């Protein structure tokens, strides 16, 4: 499992894949990524400490991800990240959170006390697809409510049950409302969710231009950031 990488395009940054306790939501139907967790916080902190030693601060920007939410990382790890931010003169931090933690985000921002880009896996703005197929557990009244808590959204494309029209609308909303967004092309994994390869082929042709949109990261495969397995 590669847990450290450097993203050298668009927003250049270092990225670390850390280990936390089990995802508190843990019900997303398409996700087996949450298997990379443990209730052994001592072991998690030790693994994370080894990973964090790779950080150089070369771009002044750090992204922290784990198999859930930043709130599920050990306190010792959070303190270590804060210390690295100070020592390596890091100016901006990316981190991820599920919707369920939205009212705790400001507390985390205050803890790190630097510029942040807070990401959430909305996956789709189509509520029926998001909740009935993907089981995300997200309910909001307007896009402004999402923007109140999050700076960036992650979209998922290429799943059976999704349509071209849904993807087009999702990207329009993300591009029109957020300063940053990520599009993840679904890769077949150990869950029962199936990819739609015709839809993926269409997306690759129709949205190749996103490779050149600075505020959009596209993961054509789930290890494109250089971390994971």
What pLDDT, on the 0 to 100 scale, is given for residue 114? 98
Residue 80, classed as helix, strand or coil, is: helix
d(CA 74, CA 129) in angstroms, rounded, equals 33
Q: Residue 3: which H helix or E strand, with range?
A: none
Residue-wise pLDDT tens for the chain (229 aa)?
899 999 998 999 999 999 999 999 999 999 987 779 999 999 999 999 999 999 999 999 999 999 999 999 999 999 999 999 999 999 999 999 999 999 999 999 999 999 999 999 999 999 999 999 999 999 999 999 999 999 999 999 999 999 999 999 999 999 999 999 999 999 999 999 999 999 999 999 999 999 999 999 999 999 999 999 7
Per the listing, tokens 């967004």 go with 181
Q: What's the distance, CA 132 to chain centroid?
A: 21
Are 50 and 94 a contacting pair, CB within 8 Å? no
Which domains does the chain carry?
4-219 (3.20.20.70)
- What Cα–Cα distance (Å) separates residue 128 from each residue in 31, 47, 72, 184? 18, 38, 28, 19
What pLDDT, on the 0 to 100 scale, is given for residue 124? 98
What pLDDT, on the 0 to 100 scale, is given for residue 1? 87
* Residue-level length of the chain: 229
């Amino acid at each position: 499992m590669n847990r450290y990488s450097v993203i050298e395009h668009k927003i250049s940054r270092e990225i670390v894949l850390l280990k936390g306790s089990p995802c508190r939501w843990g019900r997303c139907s398409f996700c087996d990524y949450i298997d990379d967790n443990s209730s052994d916080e001592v072991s998690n902190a030790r693994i994370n400490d080894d990973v964090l030693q790779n950080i150089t601060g070369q771009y002044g920007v750090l992204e922290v991800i784990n198999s859930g939410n930043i709130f599920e990382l050990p306190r010792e790890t959070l303190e270590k990240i804060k210390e690295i931010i100070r020592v390596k003169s890091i100016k901006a931090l990316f981190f991820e959170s599920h919707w369920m933690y939205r009212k705790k985000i400001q507390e985390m921002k205050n803890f790190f006390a630097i510029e942040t880009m807070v990401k959430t896996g909305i996956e789709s703005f189509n509520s029926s697809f998001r909740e009935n197929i993907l089981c995300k557990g997200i309910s909001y009244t307007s896009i402004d409510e999402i923007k109140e808590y999050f700076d960036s959204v992650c979209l998922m494309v290429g799943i059976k049950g999704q349509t071209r029209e849904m993807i087009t609308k999702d990207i329009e909303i993300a591009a029109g409302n957020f300063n940053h967004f990520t599009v993840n092309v679904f890769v077949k994994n150990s869950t029962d969710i199936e990819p739609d390869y015709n839809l993926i082929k269409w997306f690759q042709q129709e949205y190749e231009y996103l490779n050149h949109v600075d505020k959009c990261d596209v993961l054509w495969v789930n290890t494109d950031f250089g971390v994971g397995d």
